[in-house]
Structure 1
Amino acid sequence: MRITTSKSKNSESFYITQSYTNANGKSTSKTIRKLGTLAELSAQLHTDRDGVVEWANEQARLETLKYKSEKEDATVMIPFHSNRLMDYNKQKLFSGGYLFLQSIYYGLKLDSVCRKIKSRHKFEYDLNAILSDLIYTRVLEPSSKSSSFRAAKQFLEPPTYELHDVYRALSVLASEMDFIQSEVYKNSFFLGDRMDRILYYDCTNYYFEIEQEDGDKKYGKSKEHRPNPIIQMGLFTDGDGIPLAFSLFPGNQNEQKSLKPLETKILQQFGCDKFIYCSDAGLASEDNRVLNHMGQRAFIVTQSIKKLPAEDRAWALKKTGFKRLSDDKPVDLTKLTDDDKNQLYYKDEPLTTKKLDQKLIITYSPKYAAYQKAIRAEQICRAEKMVANGSLKKQRKNPNDPARFVNKVAVTNEGEKAKIHYYLDTDKIAEEEMYDGLYAVCTDLLDDDVADILKVSEGRWQIEDCFRTMKTDFEARPVYLNREDRIKAHFLTCFLALLHFRLLNRSLKGTYTTEQLLHTLKDIKFTDIEEQGFMPVYERQEITDDLHETCGFRTDYQFITKRKMKGIQKKSKRR
């Protein structure tokens, strides 16, 4: 809407007019409202011409707002014909859950990162479009690269690149893997603070559907107990479980050695040099502890009680010297009541090695002890059946295998062949019972409160949840790619998909499980209504309201015109 005037010899009149395009495609205008003559308005408003013009412009602005409101709230009439067939090859259903991930993608400024990468390489394809689609499809429709390309065609904004461009882009992404990780870490602060004073580290591995070793794909100890070659991943997350950085290393390499290269990269490229390193006992070697005792770093790691020196192990197993964590009151673990079984108890002592002065904390949980006892009781029952049947399957190297409670002895009679006799190993059972409910932590934070130290250690479950999400929900394995660069790019997109998903979940006001958020994003779809616009075909819930409020746009109107949908797409790109 704008103000126009018409002048005659005796007066000047003011009008609100609107421009539009007529049926012939020509621009024209129409009068919406006459405001009055200059003389009338000057007398009415008690002002001069400048004051009248200012008032008229304000009326035009209000008229524009009214028009937009009426247009948005207008009832849309679209004719359908019961005797008209559908058109051939006309897509009617579109996926829209990616819009919320797109809000995170542009919040991380990955479009700018792609522009920087393009300035260093010679390619013509749209790297930004390829990378974003690989991330969205890994969350919404995890599959092979060719299947992901087909899935992206269901988006409201389909690909403008070709499939061969995707495979070419994988090589570029692999070569820029470290740069992308450091950039998204720095840019993640635009989406909120990071709890990078605490860093959790752990390793996992992914198997390949191949029979022979090739490159970094080596035979090793598979987490899924599969006989296939594997590749290993080391992952850092912050204190909130948000992914920070990852690295890949051969499947036959000792995971203890994977920490130093990745941590060095974080120190040098991320500018993150003051943190508490936290890991399980498998990644808590003396060298790794010493590494994180340097500078402004510290460590809180799980300690195997069985691997303690004999004197310290004997002290840890004694039921004396414990205090209640809630109030530091001394307790006798042999005289706990039912009301005491929900509490946590601890004792601590200095633990000095040749290289470090540490604090060893032993905790005891009655609930954890009861759980371990119940699990063992079931395993003993299975072991007794093995003894009764007089047969024992080949024992696996599994700490939970019931066969560990079965032992055997060769019994001979004079002049007769020795026979194998199986029996229940009660000594082994008694030995395991000594450790029920006990848990050990080591740290170089000698003066910190025990409750604070244990709280940090308890957060390690978050990194396990990250691995579970990548493997199960994002189907990161098995890996079908062969080339080393494409394998790196595959895990980079899995890492970025996990980062996007976690950041999106954290930004929501409500608390939702991984399954709830994934199900909601996958269900957000739209159907095309005779090329006039889109109709949402998903269920509006509290979580969808939360998503819209967080990302700053809404897709849950009864009908969305094409023009309005383009506006939503722009908002999802933070424009």
Structure 2
Amino acid sequence: MQIVYSSRGGSLELEHIGSAHDDAALEALRAVARQRLARGQGELDLGLDDTAPPAGGPLPITSTRSAALWDALSRAYDVLGFDQAAEGDEVFRQLVLARIIEPTSKQDSLRVLQETGIEPASYATVKRRLPVYGTDAWRRSLSRRLAAHAALGPASLVLYDVSTLYFETDEGDGFREPGYSKERRLEPQITIGLLTDASGFPLMVDAFEGNKAETHTMLPVIRAFMAAHRLPDVTVVADAGMISEANRKAIEAEGLSFILGMKIPEVPYVVAAWRRDHPDDEIPDGHVFTQPWPAGATDQRRDQVIYYQYKADRARRTLSGIDEQVAKAEKAVAGKIPVKRNRFVALTGADKSVNRPLEAKARALAGLKGYITNLPNPTPEFVLDSYHRLYNIEKSFRMSKSDLAARPIYHHKRASIEAHLTIVFAALAVSRHVEQATGWSIRRFVRTARRYRTIQIQAGEHTLTAADPLPDDLRHALDKIHQPPGRPH
């Protein structure tokens, strides 16, 4: 069904209304077309009863909704157990799914719901419910459902990372505080700790003061998670930036297993020994050195193993950076450029020199990356593969910031900030579930499914339903989302 508009100049413009597969759907599309044609035309009000449309006139549209999109997201929400965790709270469902469809303010999300064809809760109701969503109890309830969905067991791999969310304000308040920011922003911020399973599926989120060191955030999140789910052990995977020596000892004291990236302050003896034995050879690309570190009689820890992997491409990039820094250091020492932050410039009183021993050590370490674990009888392949899964949690952070627009945050009260994080966290879980089920990005899924609407039209005593036919790829994606839990996709 199409509407053809013509102009005096003879040009044509087509408006596609939809396709019908039976007489009822065809009549519904005709009614929609008549409604479109009548739109904007003046009506003469004679004070007569106009409850029934004139014969042959447009039929009233009783509802129009993005049924394919909403029903699929609702299905994912229910599969994750959020309906039970929220005890049937439809306001929470609306806020979570609206953020996936079009991330915007809480007030404007009511407009998103209306456009989707959902009757939204009032803004007064939303404001009244928000503090509840920010409580630890509410978030722990969601986390329990996610852990059950991820089928976590003892020694399951969990990934941990942190990021920051900034605020459109200039004043800190003890929670929102300026701190280290990878984007070098100066606004007050909070630090977010995210715990996921090995695939990057979110399990728990927590918020900390914006000036709190990253290394002090991990243990509280993991302790709370393990206590909530009665897990005797998990294997924590985290980047070297998360781990100080004290933090690693604290993890060990908690009895946790770990696979951690580690900084390499000196050339490891296993690497130095290999170079002594192979003075004329380059380290093979991808070669892994194994260095056992057994626990002593007085050490309060398990036996550990350190792996050092050499990558030629990593060495090339590192050496290029060293060359650039050393060149600048030489110019600074010669007085050709000002002395700025440069680790290869040695200052002794007023004297400047290039720190050649440091340069030599940096070149000797180029291409090496360290990994440490206390797992019993680990293999290098398992340890390195587990560590490289950290890109999954990085993807979750990118999704929360871009697709779900988690930042900047415009809330001021901590309860509202915590509620905002809970909604984003739940939306992230639903989004990751949709992506894992369909193989589509959440952005592509929403953009595609949002185009197709279901329209209901009242024709006398009959309600007619019409909908555009779905393309095969979208229909297959929807089928995967609506599959019973546990069935392979």
Do the two structures share a fold, i.e. TM-score over 0.5?
yes
Distance 1:107 1:280, change over 3 A: same
Matched, 1:355 2:300: yes
Amino acid at match of 1:470: S
Residues 449-528 of structure 1 correspond to what in structure 2 (within 5 A)?
449-508=379-438, 511-512=439-440, 516-524=441-449, 525-527=451-453
Matched, 1:85 2:39: yes
8 Å CA contact 1:317–1:435 kept in 2: the answer is no
1:173 to 133, 148, 152: 133
* CA radius of gyration, larger in: 1
After superposition, the C-alpha distances for 1:434-468 in whole angstroms (9 at most, x for unaligned) are 22110111111242222222221221221122112
State the TM-score, normalizing by the size of structure 1: 0.65
8 Å CA contact 1:198–1:276 kept in 2: the answer is yes
Tell me, in whole angstroms, the C-alpha distance in 1 between the residues paired with 2:322 and 2:469. Answer: 50
1:102 to 55, 74, 77: 74
Residues 544-563 of structure 1 correspond to what in structure 2 (within 5 A)?
544-552=474-482
Distance 1:387 1:267, change over 3 A: same
Matched, 1:144 2:94: no
Partner of 2:172: 213
Tell me, in whole angstroms, the C-alpha distance in 2 between the residues paired with 1:301 and 1:73. Answer: 65
SS in 2 for 1:209: coil
Matched, 1:244 2:244: no
Residues 156-555 of structure 1 correspond to what in structure 2 (within 5 A)?
156-159=117-120, 161-175=121-135, 177-186=136-145, 189=148, 193-194=151-152, 197-293=156-252, 297-306=256-265, 313-315=267-269, 317-318=271-272, 320=274, 332=278, 334-336=280-282, 340-341=284-285, 343-350=286-293, 352=295, 354-356=299-301, 357-376=303-322, 390-392=336-338, 395=341, 403-404=342-343, 428-508=358-438, 511-512=439-440, 516-524=441-449, 525-527=451-453, 531=457, 532-536=464-468, 540=471, 542=473, 544-552=474-482
Of the structure 1 ranges 145-154 and 492-501, higher mean CA displacement relative to structure 2 is found in 145-154
Amino acid at match of 1:114: A
Partner of 2:7: none
TM-superposed deviation, 1:111: 2.4
Tell me, in whole angstroms, the C-alpha distance in 1 between the residues paired with 2:81 and 2:355. Answer: 61
Partner of 1:154: 115
Tell me, in whole angstroms, the C-alpha distance in 2 between the residues paired with 1:199 and 1:434. Answer: 33
TM-superposed deviation, 1:472: 2.2
TM-superposed deviation, 1:98: 3.4
Tell me, in whole angstroms, the C-alpha distance in 1 between the residues paired with 2:259 and 2:239. Answer: 9
Amino acid at match of 1:165: T
Tell me, in whole angstroms, the C-alpha distance in 2 between the residues paired with 1:192 and 1:230. Answer: 31
TM-superposed deviation, 1:389: 9.5
Amino acid at match of 1:456: S
8 Å CA contact 1:319–1:333 kept in 2: the answer is no
After superposition, the C-alpha distances for 1:389-410 in whole angstroms (9 at most, x for unaligned) are 9334854xxxxxxx55567899
Partner of 1:399: none
TM-superposed deviation, 1:499: 1.0
TM-superposed deviation, 1:305: 0.7
After superposition, the C-alpha distances for 1:215-251 in whole angstroms (9 at most, x for unaligned) are 3112211232111111111111111211111211111
Amino acid at match of 1:254: A
8 Å CA contact 1:305–1:316 kept in 2: the answer is no
Of the structure 1 ranges 178-187 and 104-113, higher mean CA displacement relative to structure 2 is found in 178-187
Of the structure 1 ranges 458-467 and 494-503, higher mean CA displacement relative to structure 2 is found in 458-467
8 Å CA contact 1:108–1:184 kept in 2: the answer is no
After superposition, the C-alpha distances for 1:368-392 in whole angstroms (9 at most, x for unaligned) are 2223334555666777888899334
8 Å CA contact 1:304–1:440 kept in 2: the answer is yes
TM-superposed deviation, 1:491: 0.5
TM-superposed deviation, 1:363: 1.6
TM-superposed deviation, 1:345: 2.6
Partner of 2:460: none
8 Å CA contact 2:454–2:468 kept in 1: the answer is no
8 Å CA contact 1:201–1:236 kept in 2: the answer is yes
Please list every run of 5 or more consecutive structure 2 residues that lacks an aligned counterpart in the other structure: 1-19, 43-59, 458-463, 484-489
8 Å CA contact 1:199–1:236 kept in 2: the answer is yes
Tell me, in whole angstroms, the C-alpha distance in 1 between the residues paired with 2:151 and 2:191. Answer: 30
Distance 1:382 1:477, change over 3 A: farther
8 Å CA contact 2:82–2:145 kept in 1: the answer is no
Residues 113-124 of structure 1 correspond to what in structure 2 (within 5 A)?
113-115=85-87
Partner of 2:4: none
State the TM-score, normalizing by the size of structure 2: 0.76
Distance 1:113 1:406, change over 3 A: same
Tell me, in whole angstroms, the C-alpha distance in 1 between the residues paired with 2:163 and 2:396. Answer: 11
Amino acid at match of 1:348: Q
Tell me, in whole angstroms, the C-alpha distance in 1 between the residues paired with 2:294 and 2:150. Answer: 39
Distance 1:99 1:372, change over 3 A: farther
Distance 1:534 1:406, change over 3 A: farther
SS in 2 for 1:154: helix
Amino acid at match of 2:401: K
Distance 1:425 1:157, change over 3 A: same
Amino acid at match of 1:76: L
Tell me, in whole angstroms, the C-alpha distance in 2 between the residues paired with 1:473 and 1:367. Answer: 32
1:130 to 91, 103, 111: 91
Please list every run of 5 or more consecutive structure 1 residues that lacks an aligned counterpart in the other structure: 1-69, 116-126, 323-330, 396-402, 412-419, 554-575
Of the structure 1 ranges 104-113 and 345-354, higher mean CA displacement relative to structure 2 is found in 345-354
Tell me, in whole angstroms, the C-alpha distance in 1 between the residues paired with 2:151 and 2:455. Answer: 42
Distance 1:214 1:478, change over 3 A: same
Amino acid at match of 1:132: R
